[in-house]
């Protein structure tokens, strides 16, 4: 944590805002609070925010849509704090681009630890490297990924939609081609969190990404499975200037 990291807490429950806001302030953070999606936009327009703690059930907007929109236009880390704590809820939250997901009820010290951890990891990547990565265009096996627009083009030129999670995952593969990536490392690189027992998030995302890339799951040529370890992205990757 740097001095006075600024955290935005978005939750429609005043007791949660008080709990999280007070606890983070006691631990050295500057805190702003928003009770809905509009409030979030207002704070973002007027302040520099280092991390957002986001509830999903807001009165005016779906937190997942907010999360996806945030991720498409900024790098501000997002920690989802939600009463929706099921496995699928967490997977969807991470796929929408959240950096971590903590179900309610929660212990404020655990939230504090996760906030610090996400901030630490978000800063582990040098800004110039991040900058150049985000202004690049990757070409592999006839496919093209234009990073600024997050647009994937098939070899025949069709536009292919990628979810936030799939985009994060393909970026990891494109930056580490022809290298075996263990599942836990993929999860950390793509989502900034550690793998949990029986966690199938990465396997499900790889499966979806293979479908997007029209890669035969029975005999994949691009994303190959390394049994009991993880996956390897098997292609020559070229990085150039963005299309847009």
Instruction: List phi, psi (to 5°) of 237.
Output: -110, 130
List 1, 5, 6, 23, residue binding another protein (CB under 8 A)? 23
26 binds another protein (CB under 8 A): yes
15 binds another protein (CB under 8 A): yes
Give whichever of 106 and 153 is closer to another protein, judged by the CB atom.
Answer: 106
Query: What 3-state class would DSSP assign to 121?
Result: helix
Give whichever of 91 and 112 is closer to another protein, judged by the CB atom.
Answer: 112
List 19, 91, 204, 237, residue binding another protein (CB under 8 A)? 19
Per the CB < 8 A criterion, the answer to whether 174 and 231 are in contact is no
List 107, 159, 179, 224, residue binding another protein (CB under 8 A)? 107
Contact string (CB under 8 A) for another protein, positions 158-187, x = contact: ------------------------------
Per the CB < 8 A criterion, the answer to whether 68 and 80 are in contact is no
User: What is the token pair recorded at 236?
Assistant: 């020559």
Closest approach, Cβ 20 to another protein, in A, equals: 8
List 9, 16, 54, 92, residue binding another protein (CB under 8 A)? 16
104 binds another protein (CB under 8 A): yes
Burial class of 240 by CB neighbour count within 10 A (0 to 12, 13 to 18, 19+): exposed
Q: Which residue has the tokens 């939230």?
A: 111
Distance of CA 21 to the CA centre of its chain: 23
List 5, 6, 13, 208, residue binding another protein (CB under 8 A)? 13
Distance of CA 190 to the CA centre of its chain: 6
Give whichever of 7 and 174 is closer to another protein, judged by the CB atom.
Answer: 7
Q: Rounded to an integer, what distance in angstroms lies between the CA atom of residue 149 and that of residue 87?
A: 30
């Amino acid at each position: 944590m740097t001095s006075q990291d600024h955290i935005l807490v978005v939750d429609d429950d005043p007791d949660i805002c008080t709990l999280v806001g007070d606890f983070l302030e006691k631990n050295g953070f500057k805190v702003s609070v928003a009770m809905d999606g509009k409030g979030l936009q207002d704070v973002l327009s007027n302040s520099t925010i280092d991390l957002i703690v986001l509830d999903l059930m807001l009165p005016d907007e779906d937190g997942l849509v907010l999360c996806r929109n945030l991720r498409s236009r900024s790098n501000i880390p997002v920690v989802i704090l939600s009463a929706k704590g099921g496995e699928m809820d967490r997977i969807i939250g991470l796929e929408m681009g959240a950096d971590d997901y903590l179900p309610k009820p929660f212990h404020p010290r655990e939230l504090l630890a996760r906030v610090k951890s996400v901030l630490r990891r978000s800063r582990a990547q040098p800004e110039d490297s991040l900058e150049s990565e985000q202004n690049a265009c990757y070409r592999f096996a006839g496919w093209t990924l234009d990073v600024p627009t997050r647009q994937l083009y098939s070899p025949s030129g069709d536009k292919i939609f990628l979810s936030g999670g799939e985009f994060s995952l393909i970026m990891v593969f494109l930056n580490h081609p022809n290298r075996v990536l263990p599942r836990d490392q993929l999860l950390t690189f793509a989502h900034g969190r550690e793998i949990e027992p029986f966690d199938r998030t990465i396997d499900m995302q790889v499966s979806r990404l293979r479908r997007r890339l029209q890669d035969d799951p029975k005999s994949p040529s691009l994303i190959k499975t390394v049994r009991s370890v993880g996956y390897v992205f098997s292609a020559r990757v070229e990085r150039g200037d963005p299309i847009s």
